[in-house]
Amino acid sequence: MNEPVNIGIVGATGYAGGELLRLLSARSDVCVAAITSDRAAGKHVTDFYPALRGWLDLYFDSPSLDSLVECDLVFFATPHGVAMNMAPDLLEAGKRVVDLSADFRLRDADVWASWYGQAHKAPEWLPQAVYGLPELSRSGIDNARLVAAPGCFVTAVVLGLKPLLESGLIEQNGIIADAKTGASGAGRTSNPVFGFAEVAESMRAYGVAGHRHLPEIQQALDSLSASPVDLTFVPHLVPMVRGMQATLYARRIGSGDVRAALEAAYTNEAFIDVLPAGHQPTTAQVRATNNAMLGVSTLESGRVIVTTVIDNLLKGAAGQAVQCFNRMIGVSETTGLEAVASWP
């Protein structure tokens, strides 16, 4: 048996970092060697995650190169702006990196700066980062030194539209992505906007004039189309903890079978399920799994509607990062990720 892969997690007290710990701590082929957090340095992992009692005996360190030096691969589950400052030193030290933040997703440093309000600190690494949505393109993930894991909204939108753009079954213009997410999508924040009293019994749109995931969605969709895609994207916060639904509207072209195109594209994908005609997915059907479920309808008006549901913390974050990690260490993509959604 090969030696376990030593991994570190920067930002391990957040929701995505906690899910990484849950997914990886029980694996015999992985050793969680370091967990870091500014606010939790010196505290035991079970102070934040009592469910890990008996699974992981580790203390949080302050984020630094010294605390991560024994790791083979480091995950960043941090807000934007952290990985671009720390990852280059780790990469130069021979470590591999999977970044769950937005720091290396966009190829253009100027575009990144315009959306995130600061200059990019490691622009030389942007062209070297491999985009970590396996169903979009697995090319390069296996041997990548730096993987940029996609955002949750991007995953839901791109999975629903990819086969239809590639096969030329929908117009590139006038596509609408109407997305709903649970409050955990904002991370483990003290912002009162995401508190129970604000979220319960209410729903609101946000980022209507331009959400930070928009250029990432645009970049991914444009790579699938012969010409730039015209997209309207509006996210909404809904009163649930986790889960995401993207309802996608596009104009059909020609007489090709839209459902057949989706089924053919994903027939061998372990985590993608295209539902039979007449069925629509719900977020509960993918809760706490790395799965995505798709429903599709073609209206007499010529409009195509695709509904995609994912767990925003799994397929939209930690699960997808582990899916990429599995490829990077040469094991099955599904290792540690096969699960059935809990019910109710």
Alpha-helix runs per DSSP H in 117-274: 152-166, 196-199, 214-222, 258-266
The pTM of this model reads 0.96
Count of CB atoms situated within 10 Å of the CB of 119: 11
Residue identified by tokens 């010409």 is 227
Cα(107)–Cα(92) distance, rounded to whole angstroms?
20
Distances (CA, A) of 215 to 66, 143, 151, 158, 210: 35, 26, 11, 13, 9
Alpha-helix runs per DSSP H in 135-202: 152-166, 196-199
Catalytic residue among 31, 71, 152, 324: 152
Q: Determine the pLDDT at residue 184.
A: 86
CATH of 5-149+317-328, one of 3.40.190.150, 3.90.1200.10, 3.40.50.1220, 3.40.50.720: 3.40.50.720
Residue 150, preceding bond cis, omega within 30 degrees? no
- CATH fold match for the domains 5-149+317-328 and 153-310: no
* Average pLDDT for runs of 10 along the chain of length 344: 91 95 96 94 95 96 92 97 97 97 98 97 98 95 98 97 96 97 77 78 93 96 94 96 97 93 97 97 98 96 96 98 98 97 88
Instruction: Estimate the share of the chain in helix, then strand, then coil, as percent rounded to the nearest 5.
Output: 30, 20, 50
Cα(43)–Cα(341) distance, rounded to whole angstroms?
32
Residue 324 annotated as catalytic: no
For the chain, the structural domain boundaries read 5-149+317-328, 153-310
Q: Determine the pLDDT at residue 206.
A: 93
For 153-310, CATH gives 3.30.360.10
